[in-house]
Structure formats: C-alpha cells, structure tokens
C-alpha cells in the first residue's frame, strides 16, 4: 500500500513537471508572436552556426536553422517537413518542398523553393544519416513519412518544443532578441534589400496579402547610409 502511494506521488510530480514545461514552451511561443523577432546579419548568423557546431546534434540543428534563414520557412513548417518532402525517387534533394495545409499556417498549402545552397545543406545532413544506397531504398519504403528532424527520443518536434529549442540556441550564442521567427524575418528583409519585388516575396513566404509581408521587412543601418549617399 505504501509503495503504491509513493508511486502515485512520483507519477503525479513527473506529470506536473511535464505540464509546466509544456506551458512554458507555449507561453514563449506566444510571446515571440507578439513581438518582432530580431533580424540577423551574415556575421550574426555565422556566429550562431559556430555555436551550433560545438553542440551535439549539430547537423540537425544547423539545417533546422538554415531552413528558416535560406527559405523563409516558419518553425511549424520546418518541424512538419517529412523525408518524402525533400527526397526525390533517385535519392536526390528536390528543387522545392510542397507543403500541405496541415503542415503550414492557415487553410492553404504552399510551395517552398529551395536555393542551391540549402539543397546542399539538406544533402549533407542526409548523407550523415544514410548511405547513398540507404537513401535510394528509403524512397521506396514507409520510412518516408517520418519527420526530417527528430528529437533525442527519435520522435518529431512539435512547434512549441522547437520554438523553445531555437530560443535556447540564440540565447546561448549571445543573440538577445532573436527567436524562431528571426530566420523568416531575416530572409524577407535580405531579399527586399536586394530589390526583390514585394509580390514575389509574398508568394515565396506564403502570405496572402502584401501588408503582412511589409511588416516583416526591417530597414537596416546599411540601407539608410546607402540612401543618404544618393542625395
């Protein structure tokens, strides 16, 4: 009787701890949505990647981060990406990722165009996990439905957990104010500074109107200095 009571108490404590952790992650995600995430320049991104290289699961974390910075993906979309979304039948990396409505935000699916440098990053990550023969065999198996990124327990991330994971990566790299949305904001800001039309940006990041995309764009000090020199 005493052992049963002690067991029930321990289980209750563990469940409460898990619930508290879940609540903290959810609160962090809500806070990040309420404020604009910090836009990172190339130097700051490289600093983050250098820190990630010192960690366990560095290949996974590096690619998760770069999918937000190089393709403007939402954190929810990154964790919802499956192996079949990036792998072609011959084991190569696809040119684009076709996300369903369930994988993205809102009621609509969207297509994410993968730049060549991101495709190479995906290939490097997959090559660390599988041999070439395994990759080809994988395309004909039911393993393709598994998440591209897994936690230490081999399960897929959820958006809240991944948000907190990114928060800690940025914090430990000394990048205050950055969050899981920093990559997406940096992606849009960088392409806007290179004169990519707003309509194209809107399509690339899956927005439904131009005003939403405009809110993501940050005017950088370099842009203001360059504008001043035009006088």
Instruction: Give the per-residue pLDDT at 32.
Output: 46
Within a domain: 22: no
Instruction: Give the per-residue pLDDT at 45.
Output: 98
Q: What single-letter DSSP state applies at residue 81? A: -
Give pLDDT < 50 ranges for the chain: 32, 34
Within a domain: 228: no
* Region for 162 from its dihedrals, namely left if φ exceeds 0, alpha if ψ lies in -120 to 50, beta otherwise: alpha
| In contact, 148 and 83? CB cutoff 8 Å | yes
Query: In the chain, how many domains are there?
Result: 1
- For residue 171, what is the domain's CATH number? 1.10.443.10
Within a domain: 139: yes
- Looking at the whole model, is its pTM more than 0.75? yes
Judged on CB neighbours under 10 Å (0-12, 13-18, 19+), 123 is middle
**Residue 177 CA to chain centroid, in angstroms?**
17
What residue numbers bound the domain in which 147 lies? 37-222
Q: What's the pLDDT tens digit per position in 168-222? A: 999 999 999 999 999 999 999 999 999 999 999 999 999 999 999 999 999 888 7
Residue 50's closest CA among 35, 65, 68? Answer: 65
Question: Where in the chain does DSSP place strands (E)?
Answer: 96-99, 110-113
Instruction: Give the per-residue pLDDT at 177.
Output: 94
């Amino acid at each position: 009787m005493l052992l049963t009571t002690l067991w029930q108490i321990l289980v209750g404590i563990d469940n409460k701890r898990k619930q508290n952790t879940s609540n903290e992650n959810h609160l962090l995600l809500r806070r990040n949505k309420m404020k604009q995430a910090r836009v990172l320049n190339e130097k700051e991104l490289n600093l983050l990647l250098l820190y990630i290289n010192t960690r366990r699961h560095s290949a996974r974390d590096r690619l998760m981060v770069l999918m937000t910075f190089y393709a403007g993906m939402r954190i929810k979309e990154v964790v919802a990406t499956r192996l079949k979304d990036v792998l072609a039948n011959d084991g190569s990396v696809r040119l684009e990722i076709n996300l369903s409505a369930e994988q993205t935000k809102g009621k609509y699916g969207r297509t994410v165009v993968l730049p060549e440098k991101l495709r190479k990053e995906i290939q490097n990550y997959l090559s660390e996990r599988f041999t070439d023969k395994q990759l080809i065999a994988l395309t004909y198996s039911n393993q393709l439905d598994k998440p591209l990124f897994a936690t230490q327990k081999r399960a897929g991330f959820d958006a809240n957990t991944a948000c907190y994971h990114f928060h800690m990566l940025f914090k430990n790299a000394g990048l205050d104010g950055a969050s899981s949305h920093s990559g997406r904001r940096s992606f849009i800001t960088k392409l806007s500074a290179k004169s990519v039309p707003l309509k194209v940006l809107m399509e690339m990041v899956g927005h439904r109107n131009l005003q939403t995309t405009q809110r993501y764009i940050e005017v950088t000090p370099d842009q203001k200095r360059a504008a001043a020199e035009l006088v």
